Amino acid sequence: MSHDTAVTLARGTVRTLSQQEELPLLRDHLLRLDRASRHDRFHGYMDDSFIERYAEKCANDGTTIIGYFEDGVVRGAAELHPPEHSAGSQPEIAFSVETPVRRKGVGSILFKKLIAEARAKGYRSLRITTGAQNEAMRALASKFGAHLTFGHGESTGSIDLAPQRQPELAPSAVATTLDAARAIVNFNRAYWRMLLRMYGWGRTA
């Protein structure tokens, strides 16, 4: 288990996965996502072999994975991808919650935990990209201060982690502090570059 504190919920637990050993749990979680969820999560349908390579990449590139566990199985995940080395690059974030446990606050709990983790790492802002039609993710991101703009079938926005201007959130069972503020909107292609590299269409990671 990671050094961070696990948060126990009524049904499950939220904690960071250890980088190498527990990454198969992320892979298995992503493989359980149905077609529509994979489409939403990866901005297009992605096959099993893609997901297997994607999870392996996360295990080796410094991505932090926060998992929602039920009975030792990861049913939801928040991903915090380190920024690329180029100037102005931001850490990218992504979320996935399996259908049977959706709309119960799991995504929100993962988001809070991810923001606490990002702040602990000293990140000042986070980038999120999702499909323009993805109402669930847009609702979740908006709840945490992301102002999304549309372009090329996507919604993109950033979340400012500066400590001031903290919006009031609905009470939660999680004691994680959230400082999310307005977004600076600036289309970022880093996430797409990463996905394209997974397919071998871009430069090697």
Site for ligand COA in 37-66 (CB under 6 A): 37, 40-41
Among 143, 147, 182, 193, binds ligand COA (CB under 6 A): 143
Q: Return the number of the residue (21 or 48) whose C-beta is nearest ligand COA.
A: 48
Least distance in angstroms from the C-beta of 3 to ligand COA: 25
Residues 6+ apart with CB under 8 A from 50: 42, 198, 199
Q: Return the number of the residue (137 or 183) whose C-beta is nearest ligand COA.
A: 137
As a whole number of angstroms, the longest Cα–Cα distance in the chain is 44
* DSSP class per residue in 81-150: EPPPSSTT---EEEEEE-GGGTTSSHHHHHHHHHHHHHHHTT--EEEEEEETT-HHHHHHHHHTT---EE
Sheet of 13-16: strand order equals: 7-8, 13-16, 64-70, 73-81, 92-97, 125-131, 154-160, 149-151
Least distance in angstroms from the C-beta of 170 to ligand COA: 6
Among 1, 6, 139, 184, binds ligand COA (CB under 6 A): 139
Q: Does residue number 97 form part of the binding site for ligand COA (CB under 6 A)? A: yes
Q: Of the ranges 6-14, 57-65, 131-139, 177-185, which one interacts with ligand COA (CB under 6 A)?
A: 131-139
Q: Return the number of the residue (72 or 171) whose C-beta is nearest ligand COA.
A: 171
CA–CA gap between residue 180 and residue 114 (Å, rounded): 12
Q: Does residue number 106 form part of the binding site for ligand COA (CB under 6 A)? A: yes
Q: Return the number of the residue (21 or 34) whose C-beta is nearest ligand COA.
A: 34
